[in-house]
Amino acid sequence: MSTRYTKDHEWIRLDGDVATVGITEHAQEQLGDIVYVELPEIGKKVTKGGDAAVVESVKAASDVYSPASGEVVAVNDALGASPGAINEEAEGKGWFFRLKLSSPDELNELMSAEQYKEFLASLE
């Protein structure tokens, strides 16, 4: 499945029955230099739209919401030592956590890459 996007600037990419979640390039640009990330505990149950993580930059702290419901099965521990990876590659090595989805159908409610581009254009 392709990557899907939320209006809160999170992305989610499903691989088998596990989905990887992070913030978008747009979000990291808005935040500026990221200095700290608080990741969820493995085993934490998250709900679609619920708080899942926190990202702090030199400008602000922001909640990261889960794009879908499920259980956290992995976190990107590398971000503890190098949160700047999010600035370098927000939609790649800067991922936050992985979810075992409880309701994969929720992904159908999210935006495609094309829809997300249109959404960003509407914000300008």
Q: For residue 42, what is the domain's CATH number?
A: 2.40.50.100
Mean pLDDT of 72-101: 97
Residue corresponding to tokens 């029955």: 17
Domain count, the chain: 1
pLDDT tens string 6-30: 999 999 999 988 999 999 999 999 9
Query: Does residue 91 register a pLDDT over 70?
Result: yes
Query: Does residue 1 register a pLDDT over 90?
Result: no
Give the pLDDT confidence score for residue 70 in this predicted structure: 98
Put residue 46 in one of left, alpha, beta given phi > 0 → left and psi -120 to 50 → alpha: beta
CA distance 14 to 107: 9
pLDDT tens string 42-68: 999 999 999 999 999 999 999 999 999
pTM (two decimals): 0.96
Mean pLDDT of 97-105: 96
What percentage of the chain exceeds 90 in pLDDT?
Answer: 96
Whole domain around residue 56: which residue ranges? Answer: 4-106
